[in-house]
Structure 1
Amino acid sequence: MPENILNLHVGKMIQLQRISPEKHDRFTVMLIGSLPGQGIIVTTPVVRKKVQLIQEGVRFAVRLLHGSKVLGFVVTVTHSSSKPYPHLHMSYPKEIESLAIRNAERVSTNLPALVRNVRYGDDENAWQPVLVKDLSMTGARLESIEPLGRTGEQLVMKLDIEVCGEPEQLTLVTEICNRAAISDRLDREQTRYACGVSYLKIDRTQEVLLNSCVLQLKAGDQ
């Protein structure tokens, strides 16, 4: 059922995992074109600003978020080109596996981030460090040393991620949905604060970056 891939948009973030006894490295690349039944074209993987050498014949397991599903299939690199920019031609999938996920399905993580309550100005001292304990396409759970605000207040969250081998900063406006104190039974001075937030005002660029981040985290859990 290769028709499942026909509705993918150029700019979609895709995860590649090399199929090889020696290497199992993962890359995040961008879909830049496709021809149904013939092939797909993606950017060549970049790691630490260095374009990776990918030879023809290399096989990859592909995963991508598509609406409320994670699609998976296997492709083979049919052509590797550096002109006019580095890109790969890959075979069109013969079979596609589809796993339905809930839009709000959360992926466990431990990512550092910075958060600012909007009632404070954009001042260096207004930003608080937090840990993102889980993440989804609709919200996140944060833990911090100090309270972040009251239910209903808005927070700006800055999260550093990597997309296509390049660092990106994802900035999201969120709203506090719930909050709680987490006590340490052995040391009450180690109390932490948790809050659940939902995203507000997500644009297309933020959605692409968030998609890529959630996909990488989900693949890392498997």
Structure 2
Amino acid sequence: MYFAPVDPLDLYVEQPVPWAVYDRDGKLVLDKGGEFESEQQIRTLLARGLYREAAAPPRQPAPASPPPAPAPQPAASEQRTERKLLDETRLAVGDTIQLQAQFDGGNMRLAVSLIGYLKGKSIIVTAPMRDGKFLMMREGQSFIARMFSGKNAYAFPATIIKVTNVPYPHLHLSYPAEVEAVMVRRDARVKVRVIAAVQSRNSPSAAAILSDLSTGGCSLLAENQLGQKSDEIVVKFKAPISGIEQLLTLKGIVRGIQLDNAPVDGRSRFTHGVQFVDHAPGDQVALTAFVYQKLIEDELKL
């Protein structure tokens, strides 16, 4: 019996599956006609690897049902999500793709570069490296591929179908039927917790916590006030982008300051609203990549 990875887009809550589902060891997880109880159950099982018989028919779309009343969403999640074909994403040779795999409670992220693709056949990427050495990959490994292009963030399931070292190490990944896309707004904010160094014109450098971030600004938490409203400041922090830590240096203007008088740990903190201005081109690219990467991780939970 030959097994193929289950497409996460084929799994629904409380909808009978049209085929038996197995784990990576070939053990039965859910019999044909069984139902998943929750999205959390689906995510947990996908992280361990789910497979079905290769000859099994594709999942038919879930029957339409009246949509539930929309729940209020935080500002960071106000994105428009849709599905596209891969050749509609305008990916270019050399674009970075992040391969994420979850296994035994661990989480692995690998950065590769797009070499090219043949529609309906495979996506060709460079072999991932770590500490200057190529990592050993095996055929059949499954990942969630994440990337961004233009103002869009994308994600799709991918499986290594061929590993080759000729004429150089590269991988063939399975070609997705569709990719899930998030249309990123300029003011879309992502929740982060990053240590930053803040320098103002009239004060020495001070430590702060960058608590949320967008391409246009951020919030900074600090035990002491970081200057006055309308002051110009410089924010420096390290951001892990596609597995590589980069130092960003961003100029900003303090637009608002608020004192938290009832902190949980008993220590008062100041929250500073900061608008970024006059980015250096390199920092702008890195900031956009970091924000998009977080949006991919937060919004596209396949």
TM-score with structure 2 setting the length: 0.59
Q: Structure 1: how far apart are the matches of 2:259 and 2:168? A: 51
2:270 paired residue number: 193
Equivalent position amino acid for 1:149 in 2 = G
1:14 aligns with 2:92: no
In structure 2, how many angstroms separate the alpha carbons of the residues matched to 1:94 and 1:112?
A: 40
Matched, 1:170 2:254: no
Within a 5 Å distance, the mapping from 1:13-162 to structure 2 comes to: 13-18=96-101, 25-35=107-117, 37=119, 39-46=122-129, 51-80=134-163, 87-117=170-200, 119-120=201-202, 126-162=204-240
Measured at CA, do residues 191 and 18 of structure 1 come closer, stay the same or move farther in structure 2, by a change above 3 Å? closer
Q: Deviations over 1:82-113 (max 9, x none)?
A: 67875434344331222233221111122111
Gaps of 5+ in 2: 1-84
CA distance in 2, matches of 1:81, 1:207: 36
Q: Deviations over 1:8-41 (max 9, x none)?
A: 2455443322277x57634152434324525444
Contact 1:16–1:29 under 8 Å retained in 2: yes
Report runs of 4+ in structure 1 exceeding 4 Å deviation.
Answer: 46-51, 81-87, 185-188
The whole-number CA distance in structure 2 between the counterparts of 1:198 and 1:11 is 31
Contact 2:199 2:235 in 1 (8 A): yes
In 2, the alpha carbon distance for the partners of 1:60 and 1:43 equals 15
Query: C-alpha separation between the residues in 2 aligned to 1:136 and 1:172?
Result: 12
Instruction: Normalising by structure 1, report the TM-score.
Output: 0.77
Aligned to 1:205, what secondary structure does the other structure show? helix
Counterparts of 1:159 and 1:202 in 2: how far apart (Å)? 14
Q: Is the 8 A contact 2:147 2:293 kept in 1?
A: no
1:50–1:210 Cα change, 3 Å: farther
Question: In the superposition, relative to structure 1, how do residues 28 and 186 fare at CA in structure 2: closer, same or farther (>3 Å)?
Answer: closer
SS of the equivalent of 1:3 reads helix
The one-letter code matched in structure 2 to 1:200 is V
What amino acid is aligned across from residue 31 of structure 1 in structure 2?
Answer: S
The alpha-carbon distance between structure 1 residues 2 and 163, as it changes in their structure 2 partners (threshold 3 A), is closer
> Does residue 183 of the first structure (1) align with residue 183 of the second (2)?
no
Shift, 1:141, TM fit:
0.6
Q: Secondary structure at the match of 1:94?
A: coil
Q: Is 1:3–2:81 an aligned residue pair?
A: no
Greater RCO (Cα-Cα under 8 Å, separation 6 or more) = 1
Amino acid at match of 2:294: L
Instruction: Give the partner amino acid of 2:244.
Output: E
Identity of aligned residues (%): 27
CA contact (8 A) 1:13 1:28 kept: no
Higher percent of residues as strand: 1
Secondary structure class of the residue paired with 2:290: helix
